[in-house]
Amino acid sequence: MLTKRIIACLDVDNGRVVKGVQFVNLRDAGDPAECAAAHARDGADEIVLLDITATSDKRQTMLDVVFRTARCLFIPFTVGGGIRELSDAEAVFEAGADKIAINSAAVKDSTLIGKIAARFGSQAVVVSIDARRVSSGFEVFVAGGRIPTGRDALLWAREAAACGAGEILLTSMDRDGTKAGFDCELTQLVADAVSIPVIASGGAGSAQDFIEVFQSGRADAALAASIFHFGLENIGQLKRELQAANVPVRWPC
Amino acid sequence: MIAQTIAIVDYGAGNLNSVKKAFDYLGAEVVVTTQPEIVASADKIVLPGVGHFSALGALDNTGLRDAVLQGASAGKPFLGICLGMQWLFEGSDEAPEFAGAGIFAGRCRPFPSSVKSPHVGWNSLAIREGSRLLRNVTPDSFVYYTHSFQAPVVAATTAASEHGMQFSAVVEQGNIFGVQFHPEKSWNVGLLILKNFCEADL
């Protein structure tokens, strides 16, 4: 039976793992390659590495980090942040990523999704969506959550899937870093709207939050960052609790 | 491990870095190649693949198809990964115009509409006794999949997984091996499977 995935996310700034609360207040949490390996040993099903302050002058630093992290990481490895065109994606794959995540660049030009998928396959293209609650539903934000687009998250997820995205990484900006639980309503709306897997993100604070996002949010995978870095919850413990709640997980592994 | 060269066939589809890295990690001598002559001179052949079945059409135009088939029929250990395993069957509904190698009977078809497709993530292996590729792999071990089409369970199937139906996870017959999942991304279980392939008799 297909299991629900637990994905550990490393937010990386200038070569170091950091994690903010609602995109600010960064704290240093270590070396990306070491963190990724430790999460894999703990039972993480995948690693996502997000370059949160991607700028062109730091691009090489990032590619070096991707290379070092990927070298001995034998679970799926996704890299996002600052990928604006096909050549950026090629460089990240060349450095060792299995999938890339694109956000702002895909909103700006949705054909980028198809271009990368045509070269590397849909399974290698994750479209990342940052959504915030508004009166009419959920709105897509870009540029690290700074710029509203006026676009509906549900419609954008459908369009991204139609363009060739292999997975949707869906972040609730309202919940990000709060540890108040995933936004199950948002997750379920998007999960029901597309046939490709949806990764829920933003708000993980307890095992119960994961159980809820898998059961009522119908997420295929759930992602968390700070909860794992500072040892607040061990992935093995989390998976045992998921198993006890009849959520299928890869455990023991 | 005996000195041997493993050719990873590059027919222009997707990213072969991960497969190469896993073999490098195991200390195997691997070469990623687009050249039929290099495939012909290798001791073992790996045919990876992601994406669309039609990508395999590139094998036909480049001489790689003949090199791979000749190597396989000469008894060289062959491992097809993902699309590379599907290629061992007669063909796929994903691209009916392209022929598979036809080593195993049957065609690759989509999953039933009752389940999500693509099938992405970790699923368990129901292992049949006597598998050489899965030697020392614990029953019900998890492996990582990402695919939209599946190959039927046949006589050569040595492990199956379930996603709305049973499908072939591993096929093996003599020197021919295929895995639908990605061993290079399946943690220690995957590395053990690749190690078993490295140790398969020449």
A135: buried, middle or exposed (CB in 10 Å: 19+, 13-18, 0-12)? exposed
pTM (two decimals): 0.95
Which pLDDT score is estimated for B202?
A: 67
Q: What is the pLDDT of residues B75-86, one digit of tens each?
A: 999 999 999 999
Query: Given a cut of 90, is residue B2 above it in pLDDT?
Result: no
What are the backbone dihedrals phi and psi of residue B167, each rounded to the nearest 5 degrees, phi first?
-140, 165
pLDDT band at B7 (very low <50, low <70, confident <90, very high): very high
Instruction: Report how far residue A181's alpha carbon sits from residue B62's, in angstroms, rounded to the nearest whole number.
Output: 53
Given pLDDT bands bounded at 50, 70 and 90, which one contains residue B128?
very high
> Other C-beta atoms within 10 Å of B1: how many?
10
A161: which 2 tokens? 């899937």
Q: Which residues of A touch B193 (CB under 8 A)?
A: none
The pLDDT of residue A27 is 60
Q: Tell me, yes or no, if A130 is annotated catalytic.
A: yes
> Residue A22's pLDDT band (boundaries 50, 70, 90)?
very low
Average pLDDT score over residue span B116-142: 96
Confidence of residue A54 (pLDDT cuts 50, 70, 90): low
Nearest CA to A50 out of A10, A103, A98, A105 is that of A10
**B163-169 mean pLDDT:** 98
CB–CB contact B185 A75 (8 Å):
yes
For chain A, give the number of residues: 253
- Average pLDDT estimate for B76-97: 96
- Quick: pLDDT tens for B45-60: 999 988 789 889 899 9
Rounded Cα gap, residues A108 and A105, in angstroms: 5
Q: What fold does the segment set B5-198 form as a domain?
A: Rossmann fold (3.40.50)
Residue with tokens 């954008």: A156
Query: How large a percentage of chain A has pLDDT more than 70?
Result: 92
Q: Which residue of A has its CA nearest to B19?
A: A74
Residue A210 is predicted with a pLDDT of 96
> Residues B131-138: what's their mean pLDDT?
97
Residue B14 scores a pLDDT above 80? no
Calculate how close chain A gets to B35, using CA atoms only, in Å.
Answer: 20
In this predicted structure, the answer to whether residue A21 has a pLDDT above a threshold of 60 is no
- Dump pLDDT digits (tens) for A84-99: 999 999 999 999 999 9
Residue A90: per-residue pLDDT: 94
Express each pLDDT in A216-232 by its tens digit.
999 999 998 877 766 56
On whether the CB atoms of residues B60 and B69 are closer than 8 A, the answer is: no
Looking at the partner chain, which of B17, B50, B191 has a beta carbon nearest the beta carbon of A96? B17
Tell me the pLDDT tens digit for each residue of A146-201: 899 999 999 999 999 999 999 999 999 999 988 899 999 999 999 999 999 999 99
Average pLDDT over residues A43-50: 95
Write out the catalytic residue numbers of B: 82, 182, 184
Say whether A74 and B50 touch across the interface (CB within 8 A): no
Say whether A11 is catalytic.
yes
Tell me the DSSP string of B135-176.
TTPPTT-EEEEEESEEPPP-TTEEEEEESSSEEEEEEEETTE
In this model, does residue A24 exceed pLDDT 50?
A: no
Q: What is the pLDDT of residue A230?
A: 60
**Whether A45 contacts A228, CB under 8 Å:** no
Phi/psi-derived region of residue A224, left when phi > 0, alpha when psi is between -120 and 50, beta in every other case:
beta
Q: Spell out where chain A has E strands.
A: 5-13, 16-21, 24-30, 46-51, 77-80, 99-102, 125-134, 137-142, 147-152, 167-172, 198-201, 221-224
Q: Which residue among A1, A94, A121 sits closest to B51, beta carbon to beta carbon?
A: A121
> What is the least distance, in Å, from the CA of B161 to any CA of chain A?
7
Question: What's the CA gap between A224 and A11, in Å, rounded?
Answer: 10
- DSSP 3-state assignment of B28? coil
User: Is A182 within 8 Å of A217 (Cβ atoms)?
Assistant: yes
Please answer yes or no on whether B121 and A220 come within 8 Å at the CB atom: yes
Q: How far apart are CA B11 and CA B32, in angstroms?
A: 10
Q: Looking at A24-38, A172-186, B94-108, B139-153, which range is the least confident one?
A: A24-38
CB spacing of B122 vs A2 below 8 angstroms: yes
pLDDT range class, residue A28, cuts 50, 70, 90 = low
Average pLDDT of the residues of chain A: 91
Q: Which residues of A touch B14 (CB under 8 A)?
A: 120-121, 124
Per-residue confidence (pLDDT) for residue B50, from 0 to 100: 81
**Residue whose C-alpha is closest to residue A8's, from A166, A137, A138, A201:** A201
Nearest to B122 among A5, A71, A72 (CB): A5
The residue ranking higher by pLDDT, A127 or A145, is: A127
CA-closest candidate to residue B6, choices B15, B26, B14: B26
Task: Using the structure block, give the residue that is written with the tokens 């088939």.
Answer: B69
pLDDT in tens, A234-249: 888 899 999 999 999 9
What pLDDT is recorded for position A30? 84
Catalytic residue, from A45, A88, A130, A209: name it. Answer: A130
Tokens of B31: 């070469």
Tell me, what's the pLDDT at A66? Answer: 96
Amino acid in the structure at residue B18: S
Which residue from B13, B119, B185 is facing A2, i.e. has the nearest CB? B119
Tell me which of A16 and A2 has the higher pLDDT: A2
Domains (ranges, CATH) in chain A?
A: 5-244 (3.20.20.70)
Q: With pLDDT > 70 as the criterion, what percentage of chain B qualifies?
A: 99
